[in-house]
């Protein structure tokens, strides 16, 4: 069922209802994690945070899955966050918010291959040295299998819902296909059932920027200077895909940066948008590992939910969950047509699916910044589950 929304309006602040101080936790597993590549990862650790309380029968748990640059710190102020900033989706998680922690027990973990507490290329291997490129290649399916260990560890047999935007939506869909008996609802937001050639191309351009940085040193830069310049450029290119032409034009246009007239120089940013991208790159390298960026973007490229089953329909035939699918009009990274294929197939299979297409000018990142419209779509859906 497709429900059109009204055009986007200004969002409201939820700071007054923050979940407050949250402790980052770590679950360590000696059980081998068998990866799609044929490699085995053992032991491994998942960093995670939880919000709200698990009810008596453990039936109110919602797993939020993060996107490429995210981590476990989805809301509040984490003891493990060095900058003491609120979580990346603080506007959505908390008392009375979209993911209402007065009702739900919300979980978010850092993916395998990440660099915010979960085992990844910057982690120490059993020999005491950083894995670097010895870390095995991982897939979205591997990330989800690692999350399954965490959900088992928390004593939860069935999740009320699994959801996320972008790569988070991929993980949610993977849960529904691979473990259909353990998921009640899927929140598939600004995502795709398979990575397109265009998206793979953008990711590869970012990886090449990292490879070209002399400090990358074949991935063996731990203990020395990091490939900050290459990672910054990769982030700049990716950030452009998260926005839209309309939002960039509205926010920056051709406004100059600190100059009344064009200085005609290569020595410094001339346009405000150049300065903005430079800032985004510099900020990113302070919290993210370049090798993790390589591994996670590869995992995104590998994603095709129908590949293991011969078709999208065959994969979705395994599902038993109800679905909420949300797309945005200005998202050119994962256009609405990608999700429309998913919706049509689910409907043909007789699954319960609600589809919301939101008219929003902010591009792919609309699922993070369009709080009011996400409340109308996701919040109202969750109030009725």
Which residues, including other chains, have CB under 8 Å from residue 217's CB and lie 6 or more apart? 224, 227
Question: Three-state SS for 40?
Answer: strand
> How confident is the model at residue 78, as a pLDDT?
79
Q: At residue 1, does pLDDT exceed 70?
A: no
The answer to whether 304 and 195 have CB atoms below 8 angstroms apart is yes
**Residue 331 annotated in active site:** yes
Which member of 66, 185, 357, 364 is catalytic? 364
> How confident is the model at residue 325, as a pLDDT?
98
> How confident is the model at residue 81, as a pLDDT?
61
When pLDDT is averaged across residues 251-277 and rounded to a whole number, the result is 95
Which member of 18, 118, 123, 166 is catalytic? 166
**Residue 292 annotated in active site:** no
Q: At residue 7, does pLDDT exceed 80?
A: no
The answer to whether 166 and 364 have CB atoms below 8 angstroms apart is yes
pLDDT per residue as tens digits for the range 154-212 = 999 999 999 999 999 999 999 999 999 999 999 999 999 999 999 999 999 999 999 99
The answer to whether 129 and 136 have CB atoms below 8 angstroms apart is no
**Residue 365 annotated in active site:** no
Which member of 331, 338, 365, 373 is catalytic? 331
């Amino acid at each position: 069922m497709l429900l059109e929304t009204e055009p986007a309006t200004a969002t409201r602040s939820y700071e007054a209802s923050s979940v407050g101080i949250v402790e980052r936790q770590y679950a360590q597993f000696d059980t081998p994690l068998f990866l799609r590549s044929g490699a085995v990862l053992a032991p491994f650790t998942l960093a995670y945070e939880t919000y709200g309380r698990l009810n008596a029968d453990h039936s109110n748990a919602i797993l939020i899955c993060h996107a490429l640059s995210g981590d476990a710190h989805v809301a509040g102020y984490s003891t493990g966050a060095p900058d003491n900033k609120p979580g990346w989706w603080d506007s959505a998680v908390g008392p009375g918010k979209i993911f209402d922690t007065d009702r739900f027990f919300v979980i978010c973990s850092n993916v395998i291959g990440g660099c915010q507490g979960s085992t990844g290329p910057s982690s120490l291997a059993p020999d005491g040295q950083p894995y670097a490129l010895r870390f095995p290649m991982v897939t979205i399916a591997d990330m989800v299998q690692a999350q399954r260990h965490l959900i088992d560890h928390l004593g939860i047999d069935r999740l009320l819902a699994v959801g996320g935007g972008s790569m988070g939506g991929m993980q949610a869909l993977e849960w529904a296909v691979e473990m259909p008996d353990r998921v009640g609802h899927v929140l598939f937001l600004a995502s795709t059932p398979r990575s397109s050639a265009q998206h793979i191309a953008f990711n590869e351009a970012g990886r090449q920027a990292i490879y070209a940085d002399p400090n990358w040193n074949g991935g063996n830069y731990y203990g020395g200077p990091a490939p900050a310049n290459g990672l910054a450029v990769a982030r700049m290119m990716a950030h452009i895909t998260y926005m839209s032409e309309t939002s960039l034009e509205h926010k920056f246009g051709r406004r100059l940066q600190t100059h009344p007239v064009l200085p005609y120089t290569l020595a410094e940013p001339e346009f405000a948008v150049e300065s903005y991208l430079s800032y985004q790159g510099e900020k990113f390298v302070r919290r993210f590992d370049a090798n993790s960026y390589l591994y996670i973007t590869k995992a995104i490229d590998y994603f095709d939910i129908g590949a293991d089953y011969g078709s999208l329909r065959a994969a979705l035939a395994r599902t038993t969950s109800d679905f909420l699918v949300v797309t945005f009009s200005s998202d050119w990274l994962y256009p609405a047509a990608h999700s429309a294929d998913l919706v049509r197939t689910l409907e043909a299979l007789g699954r319960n699916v609600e589809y919301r297409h939101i008219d929003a000018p902010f591009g792919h990142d609309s699922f993070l910044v369009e709080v009011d419209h996400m409340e109308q779509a996701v919040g109202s859906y969750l109030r009725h589950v």
